[in-house]
Structure 1
Amino acid sequence: QEDIDQEKKVIINEIYLHMDNYYEVCQQNLISEIWKNHILSRPILGDLTTISKMKSDYISNFYFQNLNPRQIVISISGNYDGEVLTILEEKFSNLSKKDNHRLESALPDYKSSNVIAQRDTAQNFVMMGFPLFSYMDSKLLAFMIFNQLFGMGASSILFKELRDNHGLVYMVHSYPLIYKEGGLFIISASLPKVNDTDYLIQETFRKINHYRNNGMNKEEFNTSKLKLLGQMALEFENTRNRMLELGKYEFLGLYSRLEADEGINGVFKLVKNQEISCTNEAIFKTFSYPASISIINSGKKSAINQSL
Structure 2
Amino acid sequence: MFQKVYLENGIPVVFEENNSFRSAVLGIWVKTGSRHETEEKSGISHFIEHLLFKGTGTRSAEDIAVEADAMGSDLNAFTSRENTTFYIKVLDEFFEKGSGLLCDIFANSIFDPNEIEKEKRVVDEEIRLSEDTPDDHVFDLFNSCIWGDNGLSRPILGSAKTVGGITRGNILEYLEKSYNSNNIVIAIAGNIDTESCVRLLNAGLSGVSTFKNGIKPEKPFFNSAVKVHQKDLSEVHICMGFESIPNNSPERYALHILNTLFGSGVSSRLFQEIREKRGLVYSIYSFLSSYQDTGCMGIYAGASVQNYQKVIDLIMKESCSLKDTISERELQRTKKQLKGNMLLALESTTARMNNIAKQEIYYGRNFTPEEVITEIEQVGLEDVRALLDRIFRRDKVAVTLLGPAADEFSL
Same structural fold, with TM-score higher than 0.5 when normalized by the shorter chain: yes
Residue 4 of structure 2 is aligned to residue 4 of structure 1: no
Name the structure 2 match of 1:186: 298
Contact 1:132 1:140 in 2 (8 A): no
Name the structure 1 match of 2:361: 251
Going from structure 1 to structure 2, the CA distance change for 1:234 and 1:136 (only over 3 Å counts) comes to: same
Question: Which residue of 27, 32, 36 corresponds with 2:148?
Answer: 36
Name the structure 1 match of 2:401: 295
Q: Deviations over 1:215-248 (max 9, x none)?
A: 6321111111111000001000112111110111
Question: Which residue of 143, 155, 164 corresponds with 2:276?
Answer: 164
Name the structure 2 match of 1:176: 288
Shift of 1:168: 0.8
Going from structure 1 to structure 2, the CA distance change for 1:57 and 1:140 (only over 3 Å counts) comes to: same
Amino acid at match of 1:273: Q
Residue 301 of structure 2 is aligned to residue 198 of structure 1: no
Residue 343 of structure 2 is aligned to residue 233 of structure 1: yes
Contact 1:153 1:159 in 2 (8 A): yes
Superposed CA RMSD? 2.0
Residue 410 of structure 2 is aligned to residue 307 of structure 1: yes
Residue 253 of structure 2 is aligned to residue 137 of structure 1: no
Contact 1:151 1:173 in 2 (8 A): yes
Amino acid at match of 1:278: D
Structure 1: tracts of 5 or more residues without a match: none
Aligned residues: 298
Going from structure 1 to structure 2, the CA distance change for 1:195 and 1:65 (only over 3 Å counts) comes to: same
TM-score, normalising length from structure 2?
Answer: 0.68
Residue 318 of structure 2 is aligned to residue 207 of structure 1: yes
Identity rate, percent: 26
157-166 or 262-271, which moves further after superposition?
Answer: 262-271
SS in 1 for 2:292: coil
Greater strand proportion = 2
Name the structure 2 match of 1:64: 176
13-22 or 178-187, which moves further after superposition?
Answer: 178-187
TM-score, normalising length from structure 1?
Answer: 0.90
Separation in 2 of the partners of 1:95 and 1:279?
A: 48
Contact 2:179 2:209 in 1 (8 A): no
Contact 1:246 1:263 in 2 (8 A): no
SS in 1 for 2:115: helix
Q: Deviations over 1:73-123 (max 9, x none)?
A: 222222222442342353267345534223222221111111112212112
Contact 1:105 1:181 in 2 (8 A): no
